[in-house]
Amino acid sequence: MSSSKIRAGIADNALVVSLLTADAPRMWRADLSQLLTAALEVQDNQGKYTLVMKRAGSVEEIGTFSNKDDAVEALQVITDTLLHGNTVAPAHKKSCSWFKTLVKVVGWIIAVVFALLVLLLIFHPAPPAGYSRTSAPAVQTGVPTPADQILGK
């Protein structure tokens, strides 16, 4: 889609074009199946520039512009939309976008917490079985102590 006043998108298997810079601002819609054998062209009509769609001997006017640059820009926007497949989501699908965003955020939070737990387990291994910090006897440095007293047997 263009950021100017000429916009195009694909919705419900149709090309939808908004031409706000045309002499008579308008919306134009064409079924994508019609465009398979169509040619788009800018025609010069005595100082007015008309963007048309030609198909099998018929010519359909898309929009008329007083400025050639606007007509060429409209052609370029339509071409870019058809080539890159820019789509406009139906209105009922746009309302669910907040839910999709929420699911993505919650998924990322769960992934980060899981990664932190894995890192914690890797860098801080659990103490050996039977080891307790509270049951460790007080041993003084340089004073002989029996092994049974240290090991708790």
Same domain, 63 and 117: no
Asked whether the predicted pLDDT for residue 39 surpasses 60, the reply is yes
Same domain, 35 and 108: no
Residue 89 pLDDT: 47
81: in domain: yes
Same domain, 33 and 67: yes
Residue 113 pLDDT: 95
Same domain, 25 and 73: yes
Is 50 strand, coil or helix?
Answer: strand
144: in domain: no
The domain of 85 spans: 6-89
For residues 18 and 10, the answer to whether their CB atoms sit within 8 Å is no
Residue 108 pLDDT: 94
Determine what percent of the chain is predicted with pLDDT higher than 90: 29
27: in domain: yes
Same domain, 32 and 74: yes
For residues 12 and 55, the answer to whether their CB atoms sit within 8 Å is no
Residues 6+ apart with CB under 8 A from 145: 137, 139
Task: Compute the average pLDDT of residues 5-24.
Answer: 88
Asked whether the predicted pLDDT for residue 112 surpasses 70, the reply is yes
For residues 49 and 71, the answer to whether their CB atoms sit within 8 Å is yes
| Band of pLDDT at residue 92, cut at 50, 70 and 90 | very low
Domain count, the chain: 2
Same domain, 43 and 105: no
Asked whether the predicted pLDDT for residue 85 surpasses 90, the reply is no
Across the chain, what does the average pLDDT equal?
82
Interior/surface letters 67-102, b for 16+ CB within 10 angstroms, e for the rest: eeebbebbbebbeebeeeeeebeeeeeeeeeeeeee
How far apart CA 15 and CA 88 sit, in angstroms, is 10
146: in domain: no
